[in-house]
Amino acid sequence: MKKILLLGSGELGKELTISLKRIGCNVIACDSYENAPAMQVSDQYEVFNMLDSNKLNKVIKAHKPDFIVPEVEAIETQVLIEAEKSGKNVIPSAKAVNLTMNRDRIRDRAKILGLPTAKFAYAETEEQLISEAKKIGTKVAVKPVMSSSGKGQSYATTEDELKSSWKFAIEGMRGNRKRVIVEEFIDFDYEITLLTILEKSGNVSFCEPIGHFQERGDYQYSWQPANCSKNVILNAQDAARKMVLDLGGSGIFGVEFFIDKKSRIIFSELSPRPHDTGMVTMYTQNYSQFDIHARVLLGLPLPEVKLNRSGASHVILADENATGNYLIEGVEKALEDKSIDFRIFGKPYLKSYRRMGVILAENLENAKAAAKKISIKSKL
């Protein structure tokens, strides 16, 4: 039985833990707060700040895991680099985790590899942000170099908006790197996530592309397969293959692209782990992204991955002003549509717009309708 140290215990970590448990693994779930979703289904858990290198080292030494599997951005990645040098298996690789936990480093790497990207620059002060934004264009996106799920991301066109974006980015950043990326606003036609699988042998394969829509910088709904031309898919696969082979290791990667009005792909982001938009695969594929990641990280042969049916996912969000303990209402009404499936993540408390569950359905229209029937609000 392999021992897995899971660094990050949210909803993606919970589903990955379930997949790992099904094939006999022992999972230690870690996060900064108690009773996180993955902790509810793991064998053991640890609560600590994963940006604290001393505490992270202590946990690794105490548990002696066969595999260290990061599932969030807020990790002191230098510890993982040293752990890999000492013989630990970091998934997909320490290089991949270190680069992708920081938007500036992965964006620089994409440019070196020749992937098409938006124009971008970096800023470490509000004044520098304003200066760099003026060089790029009239409308820009501003993001912390270290964050997750769209936290701290905004758009700006005026100097006042740029000042607000700076403050929002700093408040939303994870870690201690007070730096933002400012990039050209792409008037894209649509966005896709290409789940890209890298096996220990070096073989690269792909799931069907997933279309997705974001709001407040965070995914709201996704569908698979995305309506892409063959040329778009081939170009995206070529770019994703270059990226994952350069990063190395084994596992599943969520590679995001903008597709512009001329059907050109533009690299956006890369996650070295299962992706939030990929939750739709729990409905559409014979093996979900979590099942795939579990098998590939262990070095097991990968079965043929098939799209059994089309489908869509839609987030179930907490109310705008929600805090603390909560009530979930309307699930019975949502399930009156017999094609609907759902997951409630079991997060211990609410925050404004926090992602608390997901609807899975045969199409986007049904997913949206079901999600509207469910309310998650503060308990009075």
pLDDT tens profile 203-247: 999 999 999 998 877 899 999 999 999 999 999 999 999 999 999
For residue 177, the model assigns a pLDDT of: 73
Residue 294 has pLDDT above 90, yes or no: yes
Confidence of residue 187 (pLDDT cuts 50, 70, 90): confident
Share of the chain above pLDDT 70, in %: 98
**Predicted pLDDT at 203:** 97
Residue 176: the pLDDT is 67
* Mean pLDDT estimate for the chain: 94
pLDDT for residue 175: 65
User: For residue 146, is pLDDT > 80?
Assistant: no
Q: Which pLDDT belongs to residue 83?
A: 97
Tell me which of 114-118, 173-177, 232-236, 284-288 is least confident: 173-177
Beta bridge partners of 210: 193
Which residues are catalytic, by number? Answer: 148, 150, 256, 269, 276-277, 355
Q: Quick check: 115 pLDDT over 90?
A: yes
> What is the per-residue pLDDT across 351-371, written as a single tens digit (0 to 9) for each?
889 999 999 999 999 999 999
